[in-house]
Amino acid sequence: MPFTLAQTYIYEEDIKKSRFQAITAPVENEQDVKEFLNQYFDASTTHQCWAWKMGHQVRFNDDGEPSGTAGRPILATIEGNELTNIIVLVNRWYGGIKLGTGGLVRAYGGVAGQCLLQVEKIELIEKKTVNFKCQFNEWSIFQYELNQQKIEYIEEYVDSGVLITARMQIHEIEPFKLKIQDVTRGREQLNIEDVERDGT
C-alpha cells in the first residue's frame, strides 16, 4: 500500500560546514510541484536539488551538483520509503569544504532520508476524476452533497444545465452514482474518466 505525507516538513543538518535543509510536501499534480518550487525558491542557496514522484512519474534535478549526486539519491530515498505523490527539495549552502561525489550522494540522500523518517505519513487513498451533468434545479442537491463530503469539484454552467468534474475517492463513487440516478430519475449517470491526468 503506497503512502504519502500528512503535511509539509523541514529538516536541517550541517555537514562539513555546508548547511543542508530538506523540505518535503505532498503533491497531487505538476501544478502543485511548480507552486512548491516557486514558494521555496531561495536565491541565497548554492544549490536547490529536488526529486518528486507521483504514481509512475518521477523527476529529479541536480541543480549544478555533479550528475547523479543529488536528485537521484533524493529520489532513491522517496522510493525506499514507499512514498508517492510527494516532493523533496534539498537546499545546500556551501561552506567551503568539498564533499566529493560520494560525500554528496551521502549528504543529499541522508538529509532527505532523515526528513522523511520524521514526517507523519498517511495511507494514500486513490482518487479518480469523474464527471456528470444535471439540470439547474438539481445542482443545489449535488452541491450540498459534494460540500458535505469535502469532495473537490469544478462546475460549468451551459445552456442545458450544469457540468461537474470532481475528484472522488474510490469508495465515494458508487454511492454518488446511485444519488445521481435517484435525483435525475435515471436520466444522468456518473462517468469515470479512464485516463488519469498524470501524463502516464
98-155 pLDDT tens trace: 999 999 999 999 999 999 999 999 888 778 899 999 999 999 999 999 999 889 999 9
Taking the CA of residue 45 as centre, how many other CA atoms within 13 Å lie in the half-sphere pointing to its CB? 17
**30 within domain boundaries:** yes
The pTM assigned to this predicted structure is 0.68
Residue 50 lies in a domain: yes
Q: Are residues 107 and 182 in the same domain?
A: no
Residue 200 inside a domain? The answer is no
Domain-located, residue 46: yes
pLDDT score of 1: 62
Residues 59 and 93 grouped into a single domain: yes
Mean pLDDT (10-residue bins), the chain, 200 residues: 88 97 95 96 98 94 97 97 95 96 98 96 85 96 93 94 92 92 94 58
Tell me, what CATH number does 60's domain have?
3.30.230.30
pLDDT of residue 41: 97
Question: In this predicted structure, what is the pLDDT of residue 194?
Answer: 63
Interaxial angle between packed helices 170-183 and 136-148, expressed in degrees from 0 to 180 and rounded to the nearest 10: 150
Cell of residue 13, nine digits: 543538518
User: Are 69 and 84 in a shared domain?
Assistant: yes
In a domain, 197, yes or no: no
CATH code (residue 153): 3.30.70.240
Please give the tally of structural domains in the chain: 2
Instruction: Let me know whether 11 and 93 are in one domain.
Output: yes
What is the domain extent for residue 27?
A: 3-123
Residue 198 in any domain: the answer is no
pLDDT at residue 193, as a whole number:
82
Q: Which residue has the cell 474510490?
A: 170
CA 115 – CA 109 distance, rounded (Å): 10
- Same domain for 98 and 131, yes or no, is no
